[in-house]
Amino acid sequence: MRRIEKLPPAFSRYRKVGGAFTFAAFDGAREGDVDAIEAIRVLLDGNLNSGTLRAIGACQITEAEFLGEHCAAESRKMVKRGTWETADGRRLVDPPLATLDGVAIRSGGYGFPDPGAGGQFARAFASPPYSLDARPSEIQSLFDDILDFLLPPGAPHRILDWTSPRLGEVSPWFNAGMEWWGAFLFTIHQPGRGRLIALAASTTD
């Protein structure tokens, strides 16, 4: 299994604007827990209790479950879930994220799931505790480019969700997110090309 050292430019741009996710991609990977856990170990710079992670285990999820309720799975377009009042008096319900450039939100909100609940990649991608330093349309563009790398349209894949309320036992790296914002851990295997991607997020204010 060989790590891909240079990911597409969208990944570095995402980190530059304040994205919470970190990624590690590998070629020559086999399907199954052995390579998945090794990929996670590399992603976390070795700061991993592999035995505990193996004992907790993972569940296989669909693309729609991975993306979560803040993304329309068919179009892969993010939405800002909730009811929002704008500064110019409009009321928006679940507006597409890319339509919100220049829109000043005055009030509104949407509940957060419990830390460690799983799924919800789109929400965690777009909404870290401190807002991304990018326009909504740019966030959607970054999401498009990164998602096309993670899950190429039409290509077979296997998504494992390792997220759990016990992630703090797996690595102290996850402790910050378990406070309230969330901790996320996934692996994605693309069997047609032997590619494996590990991705994780954990942060707080």
State how far the Cα of 171 lies from the Cα of 105, in Å rounded to an integer.
Answer: 37
Domain layout of the chain by residue ranges? 17-74+114-202
Q: In the structure, how many helices (H) and strands (E) does the chain have?
A: 8, 11
Q: Each residue of 176-202: b (16+ CB within 10 Å) or e?
A: bbbeebbbbbbbbbbeeebbbbbbbbb
Backbone angles phi, psi at 126, to 5 degrees: -95, -15
Amino acid letter, 66? F
Per-residue pLDDT reduced to its tens digit, 96-128: 999 999 898 888 877 666 655 678 999 999 999
With a cut of 70, say whether residue 177 has pLDDT above it: yes
Q: What is the CATH number of domain 17-74+114-202?
A: 3.40.1000
Residue 126 host element (H or E):
helix 121-126
Q: Whole-structure pTM over 0.85, yes or no?
A: yes
- Using an 8 Å Cβ cutoff, are 166 and 44 in contact? no
Per-residue pLDDT reduced to its tens digit, 31-61: 999 999 999 999 999 999 999 999 999 999 9
Count CB atoms within 10 A of the CB of residue 26.
21
Per-residue pLDDT reduced to its tens digit, 159-169: 999 999 999 99
